[in-house]
Structures are given as structure tokens and as C-alpha cells.
Structure 1
Amino acid sequence: MPAVQLLGELDTVLNGLSSRMREWYGVHFPEMGHRVREHSDYAKIIIKMGDKENITAQGLMEMTLKKKDAERIEEAKETTVGADFDDIDMRIVQEYAQRTLDLYQYREDLISYITLVSNEVAPNVAYIAGPVLGAKLLEKAGGLKRLGMMPSSTVQVLGAEKAMFRAIKSNARPPKHGLLYQHPYVNGAPRNRRGNRARSLAAKIAIAARADLFSGDFIAEELVAQLVDF
């Protein structure tokens, strides 16, 4: 699915743009960086408030920042080591932040599209894996037909092909999971239980893919209920 590939490329681009945005505005107000975790929120602050002197705790809380972080940011204005920006400097930074935020908003539109297609093509897989991860699995497998014919052991390590090749070549331990690590059922588990959870999740996704491919029956809720809490 081209949209899934685009999402991955877009995430890479956004990480680079966001890092540059933080670095640039950080020259003006470096203390704000570690208090605003989301890149999109950081961009919104630059666009709406611009100069650090315009930043207030009330304004930040209206933009959904926590009260503690908002107050600390406002306090930091008084002792900041940041440099002043001329009007033209600030305008360019704000335009840059706006372009970056536009891409974040487009990313949300892209995710909505992927969700729509994933739910339509493979509703059982989308329900269990989540629509975006489900779409990634379909893309990596080469389509629903190929995913539906895969054993669960292969589904478990989809996306970890390079690690699997290195393990075979060096007689090391094979990877316990690939793309499935992105699922909260796996990444939310203690490290020593992630392999078991990835195996259990892969088994349910394999069954879900076969249901989507052959019968079309919606059995995902039943499969999710069978996931073991290792």
C-alpha cells in the first residue's frame, strides 16, 4: 500500500524538520524545549505566540499543556539565556513552524485514509493489530492473500528480516518480534515476556487474516478476548 510507505517516509521527514525547528527556536528560548514534548505542540506555540515575551502560562494551558509545565515555561522567561530575535527572524521561524505543522496535519489525514482502507480490506486484522499496524503488516507481507497464507511464526517476525538474516548468519538468537513490537500488547509487557506476547498476538492475527481472506466473518472480538495476559 503506497500510503503506508508514504507514512513511514513522512515520519522520517517530520522527525528531521521537528529537530531543526526545536534547534532554531531554541536559540531564542532554549528552556522551553524539554517542557513541550510533542513536536506539533511546539510548532503551535511558535506560530501562536512567537516571541518568548508573549508566552503565558494561561495561553499554554489553553493549548492543552499541563499547568505545571506551563508555569515553569513562563517562569523560565525571566532567566532565559536565549537570544533576542528580530521581527524578520521570528517571522521566518514561524513560517517554518507552520509548514511543519501542516505536515503533521496531513499525517493525521493520511492515517485516517489508511484506517479507512485497512478496515475495509481486512477488518479482522485491523481490529486486532490496529488499522495502521494492520496496514503495515499487509504491506510487508505483500497483500492480504500472502498474509492469510503465512504461518503465525512468520507473521511474528515480519519487519525483522534483516535481524533474522544476521541471526542465521552468526548463529545468534533470532528476533522475537518485528512490526508487532509496535502493538501495546507487546511493547507494554516486561522485556522477558514480549516474545510470548508477540507469539500469541501473531497467532491471532494469522487467524484473523485467514478469516478476512476466506470467510469474511468478523471474529476479531472473540480473538482479542483469547489473548493471554502473560
Structure 2
Amino acid sequence: MDEDLLLDLEELGGDDDFDELQDVKEEDATTFGNDGEQGMGGMDGVEYAAGDVDELHSTAKLTSSKLYKDVLEKIAQFGGKERNPGQNFGPVEEDPEYRLIVSSNNLTAEIDNEILIVYKFLRDHYAPRFVELESLVVHPLDYARIVSVVGNEMDVATVDARIKAFLPTPIVMSVTIAVSQNKGRPLSDTELATVMSSCSMILELDASKRKIQEYVESRMNFIAPNLSILLGSNLAAKLMGVAGGLKSLSVIPACNIIILGKTAKMNMGLSSATDNKNEGLVYQHEMIATIPQEFKRKAARVLSAKVCLAARMDHNRASPDGSHGVKLREDVQEKITQSQRPPPGKSVKALPIPDEGPKKRRAGKKFRAEKDRTKQSDISKAANRMSFGVAEEEIGYESGSTRGLGLFKAETGKVRAAPADTRQKVGMAKKHQKNWGSQSGAMSGLASSVAFTPVKGIELENPEAAAMRAQASAGKYFSTATFKRPADPEIGSGRPKKTVKTEP
């Protein structure tokens, strides 16, 4: 029941949507023949009893509809005629084959839906005979071909020989093993006739779909030559069918063309981190399908913009020879190639040629003041100088990084201060200086030598006595006097020393 629900909810998009249901390789579906009657080879010369197929025709009504018959009849009528390029004039909507192409594209989607409906009907009616087959082969066309050649056959060798012609080896082996272990009952003649009618209808619908696609592709070069060259006839026909015609496609903006024909994903409770939700038919183009995933989004935007331009030109019958489509395709290929190129490496630039001319010398009060604020101090100049043959003093042993002081150790230790500007010095006016007089070195008349003591009361004291006592106490140990060398009696007398000469 779960599989039936999933198949009913699956949105149709061609045979590619069916391939997603397979657990085998993608190329398995391409091993079949081009004609829809290939899988019916095992039915040649076999006549089944006419069963009750009213239930089938009441379920699948497309093959008996007027639209289906009219489209196939007109395709057979126009398909046998060769179209002259000189007939491409006037509005494209008035072309009778254009209206047929639009109807054919719409019919293709209905055929896909009808195939799924008939496949579900066939699977339910063939389950009593071979219930395991629906889990081994999930593609509707493959399932119909296998059922049409197997039928009620119970012989493993016969089944293996019949299905080997159109199925890959892995599926043939799995089906053969399942047939050998099958415990289903044989179908009655009425049930078998209904099953075979379902198989015939599926294969007939598939053949009609391929016939419609071949006709549309053959006429796209005349209806939309630029769009066909840009996308290819098959993809251009699908895109035009989804949009509802060339006129509808020409008025759709490029940002919406990129999602035309996208497949709705089923919510199966799995992770959707890797789902490409907004990928339409444009992503099926060979130029986008063959590039890495990180470049596909940008390439699809470029291609969608060119599709919009090509559709407008084809709708106005401009460039009927397709030359504009060739130019658009080359532009898309060039932009996709450029987007995949690595970024340019860093170029090592050479230093600019120095200016050998004389430097501009600036002057002025503000410039000199700026230079004075940033000029080197005298302490820094002295630290950068050394005396020849004399070791300089170093500091910074505690921090592990020493620095030489140069000639700075010989300085006085005073920090250079900015000289005072005498012009800005606040002084006394000359007319007031005579009133204040000049300071003299005489002692003030208010000074006194009278001392008040608790013992003697008032006592007169010599002002210089304290200084004399301090000098006497310091003169014993801290005296700066030196020892006097005793005078030589002879030298001290002031008379020269006598010398005695002896005769040899």
C-alpha cells in the first residue's frame, strides 16, 4: 500500500523520473530498443481469450480520447511533409504546426501520467501470479515487457531466454531466481487477457510518446531555431511545453525559467540536506550536467538568461537561420569556462623608482615649531655617541636586555628643559622698580641674639656659635685637612745640600 501511495504522489517528468525508482544502474534503462513493440516479441503467434477489459478502459481513458487520436493523426499528416525554411514568416502563433507542437507537449505529460495509472492496474492484477516481481523491477516499461513475455510460464529456462534479450544481466539473474522460488498461482484466461491488454497499452503509450518527441524535435529547428541551437531540440521542446508555448516562455523572466519543470520531491522522512529543490529542466543541459556541483547554480543562471533572449528572438521571427543562437551558446560556454578558472596568483610588484630630484624644502614658523617638537634631544644624542677606546656604561641587566649609555654618563644629570622665552616672561614695569629698591646683603634689623631658656631665662648668644660648634665636631672625622709632611732639616733650613767631590 505504501508503494502505491508513493507512485500516485510522484510528479511526472519523463522516463528520468522512473529511473529514480530503480536500485540498479542508470544505464539499465537505455539497453532497450527504440520501438515500443520490442518487448512484445514473445507474444507473436499467441492468441488469448477475449477477457473482460472494461475495467482497464474505465481506468485508463487517454487512448480512447479525441485529443490523443487527433494529435497522432496530425503528426502523421505533417510528419510526412518536408518543411521549407521560407515558410517561417508571420506571427509564430499562426503557424499550424506550432499549435500542434504545443498540444503534443501537453499530451506528453498526460501520457506519462497514464502510464503510471496502467502500471498500477497491471501490478495489482499480476500480483497473484508473481508478487515478487514488483520489488525486483520497478520501472513500468520493464515490468510490462517482462509480464508480456513471461505470462503464466513456469519454466525457468524459458523465462531466462525470453527476458535476456532486453534486460541487463543482474536483473535477469534476480528474476530467474525469483521465478524458480515462486509460489503464485497461474492466472485464468480472463485474468491473463486483462494483464496482456495492460501490457499492450503501456507499450503503446510509450511508443506514442516517442513518436511525439521525434516529431517535436524535428520541427523545433523551424519553430524556435535559436532556442533549439542553444538548448537542443529535445530540451527546448520540453521547456516550451512546460511554459505553455513559445509566447509564454518569452515573457517569463530568467529567474523563473531556471525552475521550470522542476520535480517535486516526496517527503519520506529522510534528510533533505542534499536535495536540489529548485533545479528545473535547465539543469539537464549538457553544459551544466558535466560541471562540478559548486558551479552549477551560477551556470544555470547564465543559461536561463540566454534562454529568455533566444525565446524572445524566436517569437519575433528574428534570426531565422539560428546565428544568434550560436552566438548565445558560445557566450554561455565562455562564461562557464571563466567561472571554473582558478583565481590569479599574487603578483610580486617591484618597488617604485625613487624620485631623484631635489626634495621640497619647507620653511616657516609653524614648520620650525613642528621640527622642534620632534627633534632628537641632547640626552639621546649623547647616548648614541662613544669615546674611542673607552667602554661605555650599560643598564638593564635585570631585564635581560641591556642598553649602552654612550657619553651620557659624563653629563651632569640635568634633564634638558626648553629655554624660557624672555619675551613672554611676566616682569615688573620699569616705573615701579625704583619704588621697590634693590635687595642688599645686610642683615635685617629685626634679627636678635637674645634667647629665652628655661634655666637662665633671657640669655644673649653669639649667632655664630652654633656654626662654630658644628664645625668643631665635624672637623675631627670629616675634616678635609691633610697631614703635613715634616720638613727635611737641610731642605727646611733653606740652604742647598752640599756635595762632596772626590778625586779618582
> Normalized against structure 1, the TM-score is what?
0.75
1:43: how far off? 1.5
1:122: how far off? 0.8
Q: Deviations over 1:123-156 (max 9, x none)?
A: 2312433434323433454543554465433432
Equivalent residue letter for 1:198: A
Which residue of 2 is the match for residue 84 of structure 1? 186
Task: Find out whether 1:47 has 2:148 as its counterpart.
Answer: yes
Which residue of 2 is the match for residue 94 of structure 1? 196
2: CA distance, partners of 1:177 / 1:145: 23
Structure 1: gaps (5+ residues) = 161-174
SS class of match (2:186): coil
Task: Find out whether 1:216 has 2:324 as its counterpart.
Answer: no
Task: Find out whether 1:56 has 2:159 as its counterpart.
Answer: yes
Equivalent residue letter for 1:122: A
1: CA distance, partners of 2:312 / 2:289: 25
Count residues in correspondence: 215
Q: Deviations over 1:5-38 (max 9, x none)?
A: 1111111111111122123223311222243343
2: CA distance, partners of 1:102 / 1:61: 22
Tell me the C-alpha RMSD between the 2 structures: 3.1
Shift of the 149–98 alpha-carbon distance from structure 1 to 2, 3 Å rule, reads closer
Equivalent residue letter for 1:144: L
Which residue of 2 is the match for residue 198 of structure 1? 300
Equivalent residue letter for 1:104: D
Equivalent residue letter for 2:144: A
The percentage of counterpart residues that share the same residue type is 27
How do 1:13-162 residues align onto structure 2 when only pairs under 5 Å count? 13-54=114-155, 56-62=159-165, 64-141=166-243, 143-145=245-247, 147-148=249-250, 151-158=253-260
2:133–2:175 CA contact under 8 A, matched in 1? yes
1:199: how far off? 0.8
Shift of the 29–187 alpha-carbon distance from structure 1 to 2, 3 Å rule, reads farther
SS class of match (1:56): helix
2:288–2:300 CA contact under 8 A, matched in 1? yes
1:123–1:218 CA contact under 8 A, matched in 2? yes
Shift of the 127–35 alpha-carbon distance from structure 1 to 2, 3 Å rule, reads farther
Which residue of 1 is the match for residue 274 of structure 2? none
SS class of match (2:197): helix
Equivalent residue letter for 2:105: V
2: CA distance, partners of 1:187 / 1:26: 39
The correspondence for 1:10, drawn from 83, 102, 111, is: 111
Deviating above 6 A after TM superposition, structure 1's stretches of 4 or more consecutive aligned residues are 187-191
Equivalent residue letter for 1:61: K
1:70: how far off? 0.8
Shift of the 145–95 alpha-carbon distance from structure 1 to 2, 3 Å rule, reads closer
Shift of the 90–185 alpha-carbon distance from structure 1 to 2, 3 Å rule, reads farther
Shift of the 27–191 alpha-carbon distance from structure 1 to 2, 3 Å rule, reads farther
Structure 2: gaps (5+ residues) = 1-101, 263-276, 341-504
SS class of match (2:322): coil
> Normalized against structure 2, the TM-score is what?
0.38
SS class of match (1:51): coil
Equivalent residue letter for 1:44: R
1:73: how far off? 0.9
1:128–1:224 CA contact under 8 A, matched in 2? yes
SS class of match (2:302): helix
1:58–1:70 CA contact under 8 A, matched in 2? no
2: CA distance, partners of 1:23 / 1:188: 40
1: CA distance, partners of 2:195 / 2:298: 47
1:29–1:80 CA contact under 8 A, matched in 2? yes
1:93: how far off? 0.8
Equivalent residue letter for 1:216: P
1: CA distance, partners of 2:138 / 2:326: 34
2:313–2:319 CA contact under 8 A, matched in 1? yes
SS class of match (2:187): coil
SS class of match (1:128): helix
Shifted more, 145-154 versus 118-127: the winner is 145-154
Which one has a larger percent helix, Structure 1 or Structure 2?
1
Shift of the 217–148 alpha-carbon distance from structure 1 to 2, 3 Å rule, reads farther
1:140–1:158 CA contact under 8 A, matched in 2? yes
Higher gyration radius (CA): 2
